[in-house]
Structure 1
Amino acid sequence: MAYSWDNRVSFIVKFLYDIDNNGILDQHDFECMALKMTLIEGKGEFHGSRYQENLHIMLSLWEEITELADFNKDGIVTIEEFKKAVQRCCVGRSYRDFPQAMKMFIDSHFKLVDLNDDGVIAAEEYRYNCVTRIPVDNIDTLDEAYQNLLNDDDRRRGGLTLSRYQELYAQFLGNPDETCPAVHLFGPLHELC
């Protein structure tokens, strides 16, 4: 069940949004994400103007998530609340129909993965992104996941473009089919508790 919709959404919370690993989402996670993104983009250098842009994106995303998912208005979003919101806002929808701040996050995340900033996520960049987030003990596992993600056009281009990444991210969250190629977007997943 590692590629079930439920597990994929849990993965997004645990490995992309819950930066302080406390099992819930709050504003602090998104403030930390802004700094993390800024430092990764700058390869360790801090650029104040870029940080302000990232902070705006992350706080907008947090506001959007709380509006959509903080059902009891306690200032935190549980995994279950997040799943309900994603079910309502993303399942069966394309990228263009996603909430605006989520689209900004997806686009920003693409920039983080595209390390050489050439507009394409190649195998090496995919591998690097995966191992910074999940435990992997075999390069073949990563390469197989990457190949399962790609279509023929992706292979001809040498990887994933922003528009293809947007499409796959939307499917990762919005397509409950466990066999769709998008399930491999973040590497070989493990079943979460």
Structure 2
Amino acid sequence: MSLRHKHLFTFLNFWDANHDGILSWNSFQTLAENFAKLQRKGKLEKEVVDRWKAIFEKWWHELTAYADENKDTLVEFDEWLKFFEKLGKNTKTYQELPEFLKTYLHLFFLCCDYNKDALFCQKDYKKYLTTHNMDTTKAEEHFKYMLIEEDVANGNAMTSDRFKDLVYDFWVSTDPESKGKYICGPFDQSINELELKIKKRD
């Protein structure tokens, strides 16, 4: 299982709301409800849900326009891999990504900046891992691995741009020593799950 397979399956799980290894419009509707609850601290308010559904509907149309090669209104894992492979070839920074991914990165940073100081620190990273039921035993080691001099100068914390750079790296890099390889969490724990899902569909 390649590094990119591991990374992109880890990320797919964030959007795969029904956990079947395939992205669908139903997955995105569930995500809209989840973001609405997050915004309203657990409350499900129709007006807020509708706003998020409008955002996610636009994202869904953009994603399928880029990634749904067989036009079955689903994005399967092999299509997901090809989509990010093309991004890696056609872009050099996160600023060159499709608009929906740039918007997602902005929201992702806001959600991960738990203490709202406009920086992503080790405490934020551990909180993120805990929130997503990921292993935190190597959180300190993994976070330090991602730091560069600029982050150290910011008190061992990342700005929004640095965070987005690392997520972009996580999405497109083929380097096993990539600086962004842990930004979305310790990816090895989900590999057995990926293999089982692929085997089940085959």
Q: Which residue of 2 aligns with 1:142?
A: 139
- Give the deviation of 1:137 after TM superposition: 5.8
Question: For 1:6 and 1:23, how far apart are their aligned partners in 2?
Answer: 13
Counterpart amino acid of residue 19 in structure 2: N
Segment of structure 1 superposing worse, 22-31 or 156-165: 156-165
- Give the deviation of 1:131 after TM superposition: 2.2
Whether contact under 8 Å (1:61, 1:101) holds in the other structure is yes
Counterpart amino acid of residue 144 in structure 1: E
- Give the deviation of 1:75 after TM superposition: 1.0
- Give the deviation of 1:44 after TM superposition: 2.3
May I ask how many residue pairs the two structures share in their alignment?
189
Counterpart amino acid of residue 104 in structure 1: T
Question: For 2:60 and 2:80, how far apart are their aligned partners in 1?
Answer: 11
Whether contact under 8 Å (2:25, 2:60) holds in the other structure is yes
Question: For 1:166 and 1:137, how far apart are their aligned partners in 2?
Answer: 21
Q: Which residue of 2 aligns with 1:82?
A: 80
Q: Which residue of 1 aligns with 2:29?
A: 31
1:4-153 → structure 2 map (5 Å cutoff): 4-13=3-12, 15-46=13-44, 51-91=49-89, 93-136=92-135, 138=137, 141-153=138-150
Deviations 1:13-69 (A, max 9, x none): 1x2110110111001111111221232244324566654443333222211110111
Deviations 1:134-190 (A, max 9, x none): 43162xx01111111111211222312211111111111111111011001012221
Residues 81 and 124 of structure 1: CA distance in aligned 2, closer, same or farther (over 3 Å): same
Counterpart amino acid of residue 185 in structure 1: I
**TM-score, normalisation: structure 1:** 0.88
**TM-score, normalisation: structure 2:** 0.84
Counterpart amino acid of residue 90 in structure 1: G
Q: Which residue of 2 aligns with 1:171?
A: 169
Question: For 2:112 and 2:46, how far apart are their aligned partners in 1?
Answer: 21
Among the aligned pairs, what percent are the same residue?
22
Higher Cα Rg, which structure: 2
Which structure 2 residue ranges, 5 or more long, are not aligned? 196-202
Question: For 1:45 and 1:120, how far apart are their aligned partners in 2?
Answer: 27
For the residue of structure 2 that corresponds to 1:104, the secondary structure is: helix
Question: For 1:25 and 1:102, how far apart are their aligned partners in 2?
Answer: 15
